[in-house]
Amino acid sequence: MKWYPVPGIVLTGEPFIKKVKVSGKGIIIIGYEDKLYALGSTCPHAGAELSGGWCKEGKLICPIHRYSYDLQTGKGSPGQNDYVDSYAVEIRAGEVYVGIETFWDRVFTGK
């Protein structure tokens, strides 16, 4: 896994959803109930921008048709049969980092 710093995120404890570009990917960084999450920014249902959504009960809600995705895994709620990509995210010395699996990570883990 390769880790990338994500500048410009100020952690205040307030909930937020911020779209960033990391290694060419559109990713949303989500702060919700004192935890950080990182998901793909495009809704798999019909392509909506998920940074306009909101969080509720551990899920990200798409602003267009209100499909919902688990903040930790990106898995769609029952009946949706879809998912958004999820990424590792952590704080190092006050800065947010996103971890993206490389091609070789997938080869060796079989994901």
Q: Which positions touch ligand FES (CB under 6 A)?
A: 43, 45-46, 48, 62, 64-65, 67
- Overall residue count recorded for the chain in this entry: 111
- Of 1 and 46, the one with the shorter C-beta distance to ligand FES is 46
DSSP at 59: E
- Of 63 and 99, the one with the shorter C-beta distance to ligand FES is 63
Q: Taking the complex as a whole, how short is the minimal distance between the CB of residue 35 and ligand FES, in angstroms? A: 23
- Of 6 and 69, the one with the shorter C-beta distance to ligand FES is 69
Task: For tokens 């080869």, name the residue.
Answer: 107
Phi/psi at 83 (nearest 5 deg)?
-160, 160
Phi/psi at 91 (nearest 5 deg)?
-110, 130
